[in-house]
Amino acid sequence: MLLFDGWGFLHVPTNVEDRVAPRTPHCLGRSLSLVLLAAVVFLASVTALRALVPWPEHGALAARMKHFLAHADDYDLLFVGSSNVAHGFDPAVVDAELARRGHSLRSYNLAAEDMQPVEADFVLREVQRRKPARLRSVVIELLDFEPTAVIRDNAFSERAVYWHDARSLCDALGRLLRSAAPLFDKARLSWLHLQHAAWRLGNLGEADRVLAAQRTHVDPVLAAVVEAGGFEALDDRPDQATLRMRAAFLANAPRYRARTAKLDAQNATHGTLPPGLDDELAMQTARLRAAGIEPIYVIPPVPHPTPALHAFAARAEAPLVFLFNAPGRYPELFVFEHRYDETHVNRAGSEVLSRRFADALADVLDGKHGG
């Protein structure tokens, strides 16, 4: 076979060694070393950039987390969950009621719209990593949810990509694979989760956010949320989407009242927890308690039956659970004048809910578990 040498002249191999240049162990080792070096450089680069990526802004999560991480040692109690928690529990009211009952605690609300359990656990792990000096308890929204909705409804949003670290990816895939979803949906959504993890690993599209985070502009709306301890009443949000929710609620008041009327009876029926949820809650509880943090689970006053979660709360070995989706026990949380829409309380309702929660917690601290 004819070959060109480095000067462009033809070279005719004269022996077998010239014709076949074997890859020696030295060459293979060098190639492998280069591959490993490239991998190390890549991982070091993306890890360094990941440390600069700010928390997502959607749901005021970035503002809440930035404040908490800067003042983590100032708080004894945290709230984590979805909009039902973000707009339902007012730390100022909770703290004042606890103080009236003789318990000096300071609380902060880290909940945000659309926060599902996997993302909430990611937030809790970030809180634990900070090792807050005073943190004694975390209030976690307890959801009986459909695992397929975790990623389907928020695909490739900043929030969805942000929480897809290795641990959260495994948790999300586990929930999905144990679910009763059709096999095709499991495969499609599993692939979607893997894509999110890859985007997070490679920091795709994050450069603009890193640069934007260096700006010093302070949004007055977000500043007000932080000033209120992370709480935001829906009454204070004049955006069109929120106003449409309110209008739909007012137009469908009979449906809301009908759903509320059946809620206690539905919660009293026997239900089965989603596969694996029992073990996940046990592991989360054990992890938090090992860090000296006591989990408190809550079901906000939503007009949705959760019989499986009510049955779970009744177990002797279950962690502390406050069940507020019980109109018979908490009728004032379901009256029309305390609702912003079918799912959320308004400011007046949040004051009632916050006081009821604080009283229940004070009972526990006083050794009188009222549940």
Please state, in angstroms and as integers, the Cα–Cα distance from residue 72 to each residue in 39, 92, 107, 256, following that order: 35, 17, 11, 39
Of the two residues 348 and 203, the one the predictor is more confident about is 348
* Residue 269 counted as domain residue: yes
User: What phi and psi values does residue 318 have, to the nearest 5 degrees?
Assistant: -70, 150
Task: Report pLDDT for 61.
Answer: 95
Q: What is the reported pLDDT for 202? A: 86
Mean pLDDT of the chain: 87
The angle formed by the CA atoms of residues 105, 111 and 299, to the nearest 5 degrees, is 85
**252 within a domain of the structure (yes/no):** yes
Contact 80, 138 (CB under 8 A): yes
Residue 35 scores a pLDDT above 90: no
Task: State residue 163's pLDDT score.
Answer: 94
Q: What is the mean pLDDT of residues 7-19?
A: 49
137, amino acid identity: S
Q: What is the pLDDT confidence band of residue 4, given thresholds at 50, 70 and 90?
A: very low
157 to each of 14, 56, 221, how far by Cα in Å?
63, 9, 22
| Confidence band for 52, pLDDT divided at 50, 70 and 90 | confident
CATH of the domain at 88: 3.40.50.1110
The pLDDT value recorded for residue 6 is 44
How far apart CA 285 and CA 171 sit, in angstroms, is: 15
The pLDDT confidence band at residue 237, using thresholds 50, 70 and 90, is confident
Res. 10 pLDDT band, cuts 50 70 90: very low
User: Considering only CA atoms, which of 53, 78, 180, 203 is closest in space to residue 128?
Assistant: 78
What confidence score (pLDDT) does residue 191 get? 94
Rg of the chain in Å (alpha carbons): 27
Residues 6 or more apart whose Cβ sits within 8 Å of residue 137: 76, 77, 78, 293, 294, 295, 296
Asked whether residue 88 is assigned to any structural domain, the reply reads yes
Instruction: Name the β-bridge partners of 4.
Output: 10
Instruction: Identify the DSSP state of 81.
Output: S
Estimate the crossing angle of helix 347-365 against helix 91-100, to 10 degrees.
40
24: pLDDT confidence band, cut at 50, 70 and 90? low
pLDDT of residue 212: 73
Is 92:119 a contact under the CB 8 Å cutoff?
Answer: no
State both tokens at 63. 């503002």
Q: Is 113 part of a structural domain of the chain?
A: yes
Q: What pLDDT sits at residue 30?
A: 75
Q: Is the pLDDT of residue 40 over 70?
A: no
204 within some domain: no
Q: Which residues pair with 11 in a beta bridge?
A: 3
Q: What is the pLDDT of residue 47?
A: 64
Q: CA–CA separation, 52 vs 47, rounded Å?
A: 9
Give the pLDDT band (50/70/90) at residue 104: very high
> Is 104 within the bounds of a domain?
yes
Output the pLDDT for position 45. Answer: 63
Q: Which residues contact 361 (CB under 8 A, 6 or more apart)?
A: 98, 103, 296
Q: Which of 99, 98, 89 is nearest to 64 (CA)?
A: 89
| Structural domain span for residue 101 | 59-145+220-365
126 lies in a domain? yes
Residues 259-315 have pLDDT tens digits of: 999 999 999 997 788 778 888 899 999 999 999 999 999 999 999 999 999 999 988
7 vs 329 pLDDT, higher one: 329
Q: What is the pLDDT of residues 142-189, one digit of tens each?
A: 987 677 777 777 888 899 999 999 999 999 999 888 888 899 999 999
* Overall domain count for the chain: 1
pLDDT (0 to 100) of residue 32: 75
Please state the pTM of the whole predicted model. 0.85
Strand partners, 123: none
Residue bearing tokens 């009972």: 363
Residue 177 lies in a domain: no
Average pLDDT over residues 196-213: 82
